[in-house]
Structure 1
């Protein structure tokens, strides 16, 4: 299907009036150069936002930074308009495109507020400053252009789904040990009511044991109060809450990352196969067109002219020319493999023939010896 056919199918049965312009914009938007330009723009935008964080530099070059920021915003807006123009419906089917659009809309809010001059005073300035920090989200647009980042994000979300169940089990375990600690160590006369007397405080103390942060202080207070076997309580919870559940979360994250990597490799393989198929189709179409034009041009020329054209065509060929072979028997790799197989087959036949000759010779000698022995016995 040609490009005009793609432009017609992009909008269903309705035929566009701007087919040539649409095909040109679509062809340009699919270039890798455009993706590289957007990536460089995002990185430069992040660099200028980092420079803008310097108060003295921002104060001296405030107008310059404003112009540069609006320039970057214009590039993002132009990219958005081109993508929506090329794929009015397909653009919104990608979650990454929706995320980019959300960031673009948020980037316009501080620009509109500063341009309209709405609001005054310290509160308005703080609100505008807070909205301007939203520009930092533009750096996250690199996720839409780097497939490796998409794999990591997918693996992270899958790991979080598994982490929910681990977090529920961990909360149940923390609640259980908090109740046990409250019952054993929270008595007013002999225990530590300030730490373990309230269930809420007990939950906070037990949760701190999950991170293994300050557990020696907690255990030291229990030892000072005379709870000799309290270390069993502390060690048991650390083993269950930190070692086991932490290992479960890491294992779930690794499994999710492996699944995401597998999906990424399959997508890359499908893209490579599609690219090769498209290239092959293009080459075949071009060869057919050139061959048709060549044959048609010979209908009005004699044989000598034909031979001259063949010679010129042969001279113009180079080793780097791409040649598509539809028939496996005309493929050079297949021919080399087939010839090698024939050589190996001939060698195997010769060896088998030598083996048969040796076998017949040995059998003949055995028969001669047997006849000689029988003759001597008689």
Structure 2
């Protein structure tokens, strides 16, 4: 039974079937946001139940086919998938927890990450890059705070809506960093302070050009390391599989030799 389920789990058709059902689940969630007739809603409800049952069967197949069941739930992705499936099985649609049930069904779309290895590599790279990114984000916050204080001191009388206090000033600076009509903000202050353009250009240089490129560089560097580690793991698994096959062939040859010797005797 374990070998049969393992063959099913490793089959590409089964993998793509899971991906298809996840996409179907996402479409069902989107369909329920519209005003639909009662008949359509009833059909969508039955389809949602079928999707939940399929996910239950899929997680069961993965658990039974696993070679190391003791460490199955040590993987964060397995815990996430199991938690989503278990909560989806709880009948809370007609209770006060109906909103929680809908949110859980929304998060079922994230199971795509645990199914597709490439997406797992991206998320793992982002998580591993967080310690390095935290220092860059801290430095960016310091720059935001300094420029926000300066902008609030000089420009609050020009437009208190944008520069009334330091928190509002930092939000305005975020708008400038994302280039959302930032020239309108700059030209407004240049009518009173003609040299205020230097304030905006220097801020954009530090944030949009310098720090954001540093963030991208860190993420790309960690992503390359994760891809290299994944390739090494795949090569190791392939070599172990080949060694297992060679051992099996060697055992068969030894058995053949033993039979030939027995026939000669």
Q: Which TM-score band applies after superposition, normalised by the shorter structure? A: 0.7 to 0.9
- The answer on 1:149 being equivalent to 2:119 is yes
Report the alpha carbon displacement of residue 287 of structure 1 after superposing the two structures with TM: 1.5
Structure 1 residues 200 and 136: CA distance shift in structure 2, 3 A: closer
Structure 1 residues 156 and 32: CA distance shift in structure 2, 3 A: farther
Q: 8 Å contact 2:113–2:119 — kept in the other structure?
A: yes
Q: 8 Å contact 2:125–2:226 — kept in the other structure?
A: yes
2:59 to 74, 80, 90: 80
> Partner of 1:198 in structure 2?
165
Separation in 1 of the partners of 2:116 and 2:167?
45
1:70 to 38, 45, 49: 49
Separation in 1 of the partners of 2:104 and 2:161?
44
Q: 8 Å contact 2:25–2:51 — kept in the other structure?
A: no
Structure 1 residues 44 and 298: CA distance shift in structure 2, 3 A: same
Structure 1 residues 259 and 228: CA distance shift in structure 2, 3 A: same
Report the alpha carbon displacement of residue 159 of structure 1 after superposing the two structures with TM: 3.1
Separation in 1 of the partners of 2:154 and 2:26?
56
Whichever of the two has the greater Rg, that structure is 1
Separation in 2 of the partners of 1:149 and 1:183?
46
> Partner of 1:26 in structure 2?
2
Report the alpha carbon displacement of residue 175 of structure 1 after superposing the two structures with TM: 0.8
Specify the SS of the correspondent of 1:238: helix
Report the alpha carbon displacement of residue 271 of structure 1 after superposing the two structures with TM: 0.9
Matches within 5 A, 1:322-333: none
- The answer on 1:166 being equivalent to 2:136 is yes
Structure 1 residues 91 and 228: CA distance shift in structure 2, 3 A: same
- The answer on 1:263 being equivalent to 2:244 is no
Matches within 5 A, 1:1-378: 25-31=1-7, 35-36=11-12, 37-47=14-24, 49-50=26-27, 53=31, 59-85=38-64, 87-109=68-90, 112-114=91-93, 119=95, 124=96, 127-128=97-98, 131-186=101-156, 188=157, 191-225=158-192, 227-299=193-265
Calculate the aligned-residue CA RMSD, in Å.
2.7
Separation in 1 of the partners of 2:47 and 2:152?
60
Structure 1 stretches of 5 or more lacking a match?
1-24, 300-378
In the TM superposition, what whole-angstrom CA distance separates every residue of 1:199-222 from its partner, at most 9, and x where no partner exists? 333222223222122221111111
Separation in 1 of the partners of 2:152 and 2:53?
61
Separation in 2 of the partners of 1:194 and 1:42?
48
Q: 8 Å contact 2:22–2:111 — kept in the other structure?
A: no
Separation in 1 of the partners of 2:194 and 2:22?
61
Q: 8 Å contact 1:39–1:142 — kept in the other structure?
A: no
Separation in 2 of the partners of 1:233 and 1:45?
48
Q: 8 Å contact 1:210–1:238 — kept in the other structure?
A: yes
Separation in 1 of the partners of 2:111 and 2:172?
41
| Structure with larger RCO (C-alpha < 8 A, sep 6+) | 2
If the length of structure 2 is used for normalisation, what is the TM-score?
Answer: 0.84
Q: 8 Å contact 1:103–1:137 — kept in the other structure?
A: yes
Structure 2 stretches of 5 or more lacking a match?
none
Report the alpha carbon displacement of residue 69 of structure 1 after superposing the two structures with TM: 3.2
Structure 1 residues 267 and 209: CA distance shift in structure 2, 3 A: same
Structure 1 residues 91 and 48: CA distance shift in structure 2, 3 A: closer
Structure 1 residues 71 and 192: CA distance shift in structure 2, 3 A: closer
Q: 8 Å contact 1:46–1:136 — kept in the other structure?
A: no
Structure 1 residues 113 and 224: CA distance shift in structure 2, 3 A: same
Specify the SS of the correspondent of 1:30: helix
Q: 8 Å contact 1:41–1:72 — kept in the other structure?
A: no
